[in-house]
Amino acid sequence: MINNKKVISKITAMVIALAVIGLVIAKLYDIGIHRPSLAYRQLSPQTIMWLNAFNQADPESIIKAAPVGPFEWSNKDDIGQKRKMGKWGKEEDANAIVYYRKDRDAHGQLRARRVIECVENIILELPSYLSTYHYPTDLNGRKMAIYLPDKDSEFTTLINKLSDNGLLGGSKYGCSIISIGPLGCQCKAIIIHPNAFINNNADGDPEFIRVLRRELAYYTYLAGLDYNKPTHRQAWFIQGISEHFSLEGRRLPAFTPEMIQRMEQECALNAEFPAKNKLSQLGGTSFIQFYEQAFGQVALSDLIEATYSMPVDSALCRTNDLTELKQQWIEYLRTEQAPENSPTDTEL
């Protein structure tokens, strides 16, 4: 009888253990199907190669590949939370944290409040343009971290620390640092140069608004890509939609005949534009402006949404012949030509 009780106890224990294991597996499965599948794999070698090349073609911001292990999602490790990095104040709402130097900048808090308000307005616009915006509830609670350094040297220091000494070029008013790893796409920070609050653009609007619009659009698009697949998107396209969104309906200055000729010879809609000077950025932005004017805002948003799941040229080919589309774009540039208002070739 005693032996029978021992056997029954062992069987009962085994059944309970198996039931617990089953529940754990079921729970993990349930979590898995409701979380980005990126959490369960590493980035493909092709994607890492693309990210490395992308940094060469896109000097405005820095993308870090984090192929092994997770990164911390909360804001507790933000530089603005660390005392050794100086005395940072912060303004915070449901979606963003803006860090400013409270020990050195008498106007820092006012600027931070202006930035918070601006971010909220931009977030309301992004879904109609990029089909989505990734709120903290989608990012394990992480809020968008935005830094307002009060000195040029601190702007550079923040970039170096947040990008692990990544190289950056051509970023006059601000940039973003983005990490892509097994748990998804994370914006580590948007950093706005102090000059963005001093120098105004031609229409009189503060330059910091353009920085925020560009970087939020840039990050939102990258966060929408499927990194479980070998991922490759042309820098000219991502630059183009980000810059176009930052312009808020304003148009680029018209191009000189020489610049248009270079684009006709060197830029293809199914390949990367030459990564030299400003040709890629201006070319991409002008193409997006042309596309919206030719086919409408809804068609542009539909194109952008299609490129989340397919290459840019494949998305364009759904409704257009690439050769004909390029010629229409070049003719659009020639029609808009106004040399007295054009950027010079030295800007390219």
pLDDT at 29: 44
DSSP E strand stretches across 102-253: 144-148, 174-181, 184-192
Cα(149)–Cα(156) distance, integer angstroms: 9
294 is written with which tokens? 């030719």
**Phi and psi (nearest 5°) for 223?**
-70, -15
pTM over the 0.85 mark: no
CA distances from 295 to 76, 253, 309, 319 (A): 45, 21, 21, 11
SS3 234: coil
* Best CA proximity match to 333, nearest among 277, 268, 273, 262: 262
pLDDT at 328: 95
Query: For residue 252, what is the DSSP state?
Result: P
Mean pLDDT of the chain: 81
| Residue 36 near residue 183, CB atoms below 8 Å | yes
Rounded percentage of the chain residues whose pLDDT exceeds 70? 76
pLDDT at 62: 78
| Residue 234 near residue 271, CB atoms below 8 Å | yes
SS3 348: coil
Residue 343 confidence (pLDDT) above 80:
no
pLDDT at 31: 43
- Scanning the structure block, which residue is given the tokens 């092709």? 46
Over residues 62-116, the pLDDT tens digits come to 787 776 666 778 898 898 887 666 689 999 999 999 999 988 877 889 999 999 9
pLDDT at 126: 94
pLDDT at 144: 96
Domain ranges across the chain: 2-34, 40-232, 246-347
Residue 37 confidence (pLDDT) above 50:
no
Burial of 212 (0-12, 13-18, 19+ CB in 10 A): buried
Over residues 166-218, the pLDDT tens digits come to 655 556 789 999 888 766 788 999 999 998 987 555 555 688 999 999 999 99
Residue 289 confidence (pLDDT) above 90:
yes
